[in-house]
Every structure is written in structure tokens, then in C-alpha cells.
Chains A and B, each alone.
Chain A
Amino acid sequence: MKIEEIVEETPDIKTLRLVFLEEGMVNDFSFQAGQFCQLSVFGEGEATFCIASSPTRKGYIECSLKKVGKVTQALHDREVGDVLGFRGPYGNWFPLEGMKGKNLIFVGGGIGLAPLRSLIWNCLDARGDFSEIMILYGARSIADLVYKAELREWEARSDLKLVRTVDPGGEDGTWDGHIGFVPAILEKVSPSPENAILITCGPPIMIKFVLQAADKLGFSPDQVITTLEMKMKCGLGKCGRCNIGNIYVCKDGPVFTYRQILSLPAEF
């Protein structure tokens, strides 16, 4: 796939918009919110990324990547027009049908907003299908917030409620959002579990505490959906790297309900 556009989200996160080189693929390629893909820079290797754009927006996909290792470093060094290796889409997806008519609460942390963004736009593009929508999003600091333009757009919309927060110490004089860790703010905002589904993604430690907070707020384990991250190589349920118990995150995940997670060995 070819890089069509690069957005610098934060000092170490970029969003790449990718388009297919093959004519046919432009129309034929389809995916669901929550699925992931393998991007590669030849010579440096391959790495796993969730698709951060909505399936409703055709003709391109977007992936947001944080510079953390060899492959992400190489991807950050690419320029508009460069060609990347692509495999996908892989994995399961958010149960969109089951969310219809429900109140949706999105809880994201850091770059964990990426898979949620795919779903959020998917829902917003069919806004009538869902009841109230709330997005709680936080990052370490103001600079680390991703999709800043979209956050402003969401903020301005009257059909959803955006709650922003930064970790203590990550604020500055101009910050008008919350200050505090995402799970704490979730408890503070205290959304009602009634007819609601909570979808969360973020660093493992945040997910852990969000799940606890959701539990405290009265969400049943079936009402909470998250995505898990494990190191992956093949994405095809072969290489044995992403196993958590008998599940393959690449095939059976990355999307899980909290109830499913409760039945897994605590090794993620």
C-alpha cells in the first residue's frame, strides 16, 4: 500500500493514511472496526497495527503508530508516496449489531484510542442506530493526546459527550479538561450501566483498572468490551506467540468481552 498522507499526532505517534496500489483492491477490500493488519517495511520487518479508520470510509485505511521499536521507527521514517507491505485484515471485530440502540461509552488511553476511533466513526456515520454516546479519552500529557482535530470536532458535536483527561502533571495552564488517570475519571463521571456498553482500549495497566472501575459502576462483564494486545508475528493462528491460554489473540481476538477475559489465564 502507498502512503497518501502522514499526520503527526504527537511527538512519537504518526497516523498514516494508506491506499491500495492495486485497482481492484480499492473497492474489494473491506474490514470491520476492531480488526488489525500487518504493515511491513522491507528489510526492517513486519509489525501489527489495528486499523484506526472506519470501515464506512472507503478507499483508504489509516493506522496510527507509536515509535517504539525497529519496525515502527522505520515506518516513522517513511514519507508520503512510499510503499509498504500490507497483510490483513485479521482478527475479529467489535459486535456492532449488538450495540445498536444502546448507550455507548468509549474509554480510551493514549494510542489506545486508535481501534476505538474506527468504531466511533463507524457509529457516528450511522448515528441514528445508537442511543447516547460518550467518549472518555486521556493521555499522559496534552502533547500525547492523539487525533487532536477530531477531538475538537467531537467536542463541538451535540450528539455525543466528550470527556478529556490528562494524567496528573501532564496538564498546563490552558488545559480545560479533567486531570487524573482514566479509570479514576471514569468513576468520577460515573456513566450509568443501564442499556449501555462500555468499550475500552489503552495500555494494559489502564485496561486492568478500567475493567475494575466498570465493575464498580455496575457494568456486567458482558457489557464491557476491550481489545487485548500480545506480540504477534503471523496473524494466522500458527506462530504461537499471541496465545493467552487456548485462544489466539490474532484469530479469536483482539476484541473480547470482559466475561471472556475473566475465563482466560491472567497473562496479558
Chain B
Amino acid sequence: MSQPLQDKARELLEKKEVAQVIGYGEGTRAGRARPIFITSPQEASQLIWTLACVNNLAVYLTRKETRVPGRVGIVAKGCDVRALFVLIQEKQIRREELFIIGLSCPGVLSKKAMAEGKQELTEETKADKCKICLVHTPVEYDFLVGEKVDSPEPPSDPYEKIKELESRSPEERWEYWQEELSRCIKCYACRQACPLCYCNRCITEKSIPQWIEKSPHARGNLAWNLMRAFHLTGRCIGCGECERACPMEIPLMLLNQKMAKEVKEQFGYVAGMDFRAEPALATFDPKDHEDFIR
């Protein structure tokens, strides 16, 4: 599937419609892909589209190191386009600054599958986020690589693990998360990999006062992971980059998906599906439920 992608990128660069194409190239490890930045038509042949194209490249649009003047061509799967939408909603980029090279995506390989050298896409090797994906074809694109496909109904219950945790007692959940978060070393890979964590100065770096303690002890780890999840509430589009980037295998997507579920149930809102919509937590409805308030 790399050919149409390369052709389109080459054409865009030749016609100077874009200044740069952010896409995927071969990684140095067998079967892996990694982000590449293409500025000349000759380089377009380096672009690939494989099951290992896991990164959400939208993260590079707000980094000053990779932002270039002019229009940017960005290679984006369905989930990645949702991130672009949130960035547009939040006025970090403008739609017209982007040329979205959408990818019709069957799902990508999980981290585990790639570590084991798996190449085929099966239910087993597929990344968890892809099993509940709503956008195998991106909601919007300027050019689509591959055929438009309907997203299959997410199988059974997308929130299975969440429901299982919800059924436990608070003390059990507390223990579960204390255990998981105890591995956190505060490397901030979750934050840095997230296309929506674009703050110039993260709340953890604000020291007057130090709201979130920097130390990776139980208290600091709870505060960090809790606030990270909350700052993404109503915004997280479920690309799973935080969890993939986490070197300590903390199930961060459980937190994100729990919040996505709440936002959907409480306000009927799904992030990143429409860039003209009002973000859920930036607006309100006088009729919002308040059964939790005395």
C-alpha cells in the first residue's frame, strides 16, 4: 500500500502544495516503522504504510522542532485524524494548514506482537485500540490511501476490563492502581507521545506551587497519572500512544477509556469526530445531570 502514498507525497512536494510531509519510514529494527520528515520529492520513496505504522504523527505538528512554515502533508490513520481534529478544535493548528493523507487502516500491530516479531494482523496481534476502532476510514481526508472501508461493529463490549474493575470495591481498585502505578518512573513518555499533550509547560513543571510532586513515589505517581488522565478527559481520541510509549507497561488506556466512556454517557460526546463541535468540557448544558450534587 506504500505506492499510492509515495506517489501522492511526491506530487504534493513537486507541486509545492506542501512544505513537508510527515509520514512513516522503515525503522532500523526488522519490520518496524518510524516517523520521517520528507521535504523533497526524491525522498518520497522512503514513505511506507505497513501494519507497523503505529505512531500518531499529529504529535509533531505542535513541536517547534518539527513545525515548518507553510502547509504540511500529514499521513494519518483514522485515529490520528481524530487527534488532528482536536488540535483544530483547540486552535493549535488550522485545517487549511494541513493536507491530510488519510490511511484506510485495518488496524495495526500491538507492541507485544511487534516485540515478538509477528507480521500478520490477527485478533491476537492487533493493538487493543484497533479492536474498538470507530474510524478504520478516517472521518476526513484530502487524499485516501486504500479503499474506503466501513468500520466493523466493535466486538462485544469495548469496556470489558473497565467494567470488571468497576465491579470491584474501592479498596480493591485502589490496590490495583497502586500496584500498576508503582512502576511509573516519571519518564513522561506518555505525555510526550500524546498529540494532545502540547502544553509548553506541563502542570508538573509548574513549581509555584508544585501542584504535582515530581518524585516517582506512590503519591506523586497517583497525582501525575490521575491529572494526566483528567487533562485528557473529553479530549483523548484513543490512539493509545501513551500506553504504547510507556516503558513500564502501565495500562494508561484504561484510564483514558474510562473517561471517554463517562464523557459519552454523561454528555453524549465523542472526542475528535467533528472539528466544528464544542469540546465537551469547554461547554455545558443547563440540563446536565447533577444527581451527585446535594
Which A residues are closer than 8 A to B by beta carbons?
45, 69-70, 73
Separation of A73 and B208 alpha carbons in the complex (Å): 9
Contacts of A70 in B (CB 8 A): 207-208, 210
Contacts of B208 in A (CB 8 A): 69-70, 73
Separation of A73 and B209 alpha carbons in the complex (Å): 11
The 5 closest A-B pairs by CB, nearest first: A70-B207, A70-B208, A73-B208, A69-B207, A69-B208
Query: Chain B interface secondary structure, helix, strand, loop or mixed?
Result: strand
Nearest CB in chain A to that of B207: its residue: A70
CB distance from B212 to the nearest CB of A (A): 14
Nearest CB in chain A to that of B208: its residue: A70
CB neighbors of A among B172-215 (8 A): 207-208, 210
Which B residues are closer than 8 A to A by beta carbons?
207-208, 210
Nearest CB in chain A to that of B209: its residue: A70
Separation of A5 and B242 alpha carbons in the complex (Å): 51
Nearest CB in chain B to that of A74: its residue: B208
CB distance from B240 to the nearest CB of A (A): 33
Separation of A73 and B207 alpha carbons in the complex (Å): 11
CB distance from B187 to the nearest CB of A (A): 16
Contacts of B210 in A (CB 8 A): 70
Most chain B beta-carbon contacts within 10 A, residue among A45, A69, A70: A70
CB distance from A218 to the nearest CB of B (A): 41
- Cross-chain pairs A/B with CB under 8 angstroms, 7 sampled: A45-B207, A69-B207, A69-B208, A70-B207, A70-B208, A70-B210, A73-B208
Separation of A266 and B51 alpha carbons in the complex (Å): 43
Contacts of A69 in B (CB 8 A): 207-208
CB distance from A86 to the nearest CB of B (A): 21
Separation of A70 and B208 alpha carbons in the complex (Å): 6
CB distance from B30 to the nearest CB of A (A): 34
CB distance from B107 to the nearest CB of A (A): 42
Separation of A69 and B206 alpha carbons in the complex (Å): 10
CB distance from A241 to the nearest CB of B (A): 14
Contacts of A45 in B (CB 8 A): 207
Separation of A45 and B215 alpha carbons in the complex (Å): 14
Separation of A264 and B54 alpha carbons in the complex (Å): 41
Separation of A81 and B210 alpha carbons in the complex (Å): 26
Separation of A69 and B208 alpha carbons in the complex (Å): 8
CB distance from B254 to the nearest CB of A (A): 34
Separation of A73 and B210 alpha carbons in the complex (Å): 14
CB distance from B241 to the nearest CB of A (A): 29
CB distance from A46 to the nearest CB of B (A): 13
